[in-house]
Amino acid sequence: MGFTIARDGPDLYLKAVKRLGLYVGDTYKNGSELEMCQEAKELILPVEPTMPENPTPHQHKMWDLCAAAVVKNEETLRQNMN
């Protein structure tokens, strides 16, 4: 399928990009994050959790779990982008 400068060219391009976003969202793990990166045309990384000052053992464990999830999501997103 080619895109032309004709009257319908820009509309065809936008439809194709939208379909590509839907395909990516359905096909890849964390596809919705990948779709957001495609729309923004840049890599959007997840927000890193902050460790509270003087954390309780429970807060420390929760921070560890959140930090591990962020690292895993970031690695998955980088792999999907390549």
pLDDT in tens, 49-70: 888 899 999 999 999 999 998 8
The three-state secondary structure class of 6 is coil
The structure tokens 């999830």 sit at 69
**Do residues 57 and 11 lie in contact, with contact meaning Cβ atoms separated by under 8 Å?**
no
How big is the chain, counted in residues?
82
**Do residues 78 and 34 lie in contact, with contact meaning Cβ atoms separated by under 8 Å?**
no
Q: What is the CA radius of gyration of the chain?
A: 19
**Do residues 30 and 77 lie in contact, with contact meaning Cβ atoms separated by under 8 Å?**
yes
pLDDT in tens, 37-49: 766 777 777 788 8
Output DSSP code: residue 2.
Answer: -
pLDDT of residue 4: 58
